[in-house]
Amino acid sequence: MIQVGIIGGTGYVGAELLRLLSNHNKVKISAVSSTSYSGKTISSIYPNFYGINEIVYGNEDEVIEKSDLIFLGLPSGLSESIVEKAVKKNKICIDMGADFRFKSETAYKKWYKKDFEIMDLHEKSVYGLPELNRKYIKEAKIIGNPGCYATSVELALLPLISGGFIEEKGIIADCKSGVTGSGRSLKEGSHFVNCNESFSAYKVANHRHTPEIEENLSSVSKKDVKLTFIPHLIPINRGILSTVYTTPKDKIDMEKLHEDYCEFYKAEPFVKVLPLGEVAKINNVRLSNYCHISLHYDEENNKLIMISCLDNMVKGSAGQGIQNMNIVLGFDEKEGLNAVPAIF
């Protein structure tokens, strides 16, 4: 059994990792840390674990010492020094925050107001989108798990960008997320009275996932990809729906494009391209590691539209982290992630 630990185990991401890892047959949860709840049991914070997992929250050094692989579920800006300690002890680290998502220090500093303090860690890290970087993830010691919105938008666009089918500028990503995307800490916008029966945009054209998406799509395109990204908060617990508008360079044959998408993702266990005429919906991927993509064309305005849906807490976060874990440890990629999406 591989010993797996979590540093920062009381946020939504940490709790979701615990839930999913509980169904994994090849790993054992060795230790979990929490600054705020040290000494308390997991079930005292999340009663759904009562009688199932009664592990006690410890400290980060305990997690590093007891674990072969470590997930870091921390706010951005806190992972570097911990990863340095862990890597020196030959541990594998999967950072669920943004600290290892970027190759460009300039972009990270602009959007996160922080420098790369330990440069060699970033040179060794791999961006953990399996559908893009699987061969590099296999050999990685440090994996930066992608952002939830970024995962949805990048999966929607990868076949088009890699094939050079669309204009690299003027892409619009209109995205909606459930309230778990804002984390466990209470914020004004996530109060029940402010989000229930409401629907609002936030961080318009100023969201931190914008440079992440642009950097990774540009690396595929070998051209400078630019997009306008507008996130919205919708009154559901979990899920992301991204509607991505693009301009094709040539006349579109939707049957051929659909074949190209199916071919591009045919070996990917968690990306499902829906038949033409169907529309991707959040409730069809809920509580699963699947991403559904549907393709649409506005012929009159020459706009190619992709709709991409995933569960922000699973494929958008903890599930993708476990998918990366499976790859780097040589397990079946679907291990622990085989759950069929919830029916309702």
CA distances from 2 to 20, 96, 330 (A): 15, 19, 11
pLDDT in tens, the chain (344 residues): 999 999 999 999 999 999 999 999 999 999 999 988 999 999 999 999 999 989 999 999 999 999 999 999 998 889 999 999 999 999 999 999 999 999 999 999 999 989 999 999 999 999 999 999 999 999 999 999 999 999 999 999 999 999 999 999 999 999 999 988 767 666 666 667 677 778 889 989 889 999 999 999 999 999 999 999 999 999 999 999 999 999 999 999 999 999 999 999 999 999 999 999 999 999 999 999 999 999 999 999 999 999 999 999 999 999 999 999 999 999 999 999 999 999 88
Q: How many CA atoms lie within 13 A of 324 on its CB side?
A: 35
Q: Is 148 a catalytic residue?
A: yes
pLDDT at residue 195, as a whole number: 72
**Which domains, from first to last, does the chain contain?**
2-124 (3.40.50.720), 149-311 (3.30.360.10)
Length in residues, the chain: 344
Region of 222 on the Ramachandran plot (φ > 0 left; ψ -120 to 50 alpha; else beta): left
pLDDT at residue 198, as a whole number: 81
Q: At what angle do helices 12-21 and 319-329 cross, to 10 degrees?
A: 50
pLDDT at residue 168, as a whole number: 97
Q: Which residue among the candidates 148, 195, 291, 309 is catalytic per the annotation?
A: 148
Question: Tokens standing for 99?
Answer: 């600290």
Query: Apex CA 243: angle with CA 238 and CA 244, to 5°?
Result: 135
CB 72 within 8 A of CB 82: yes
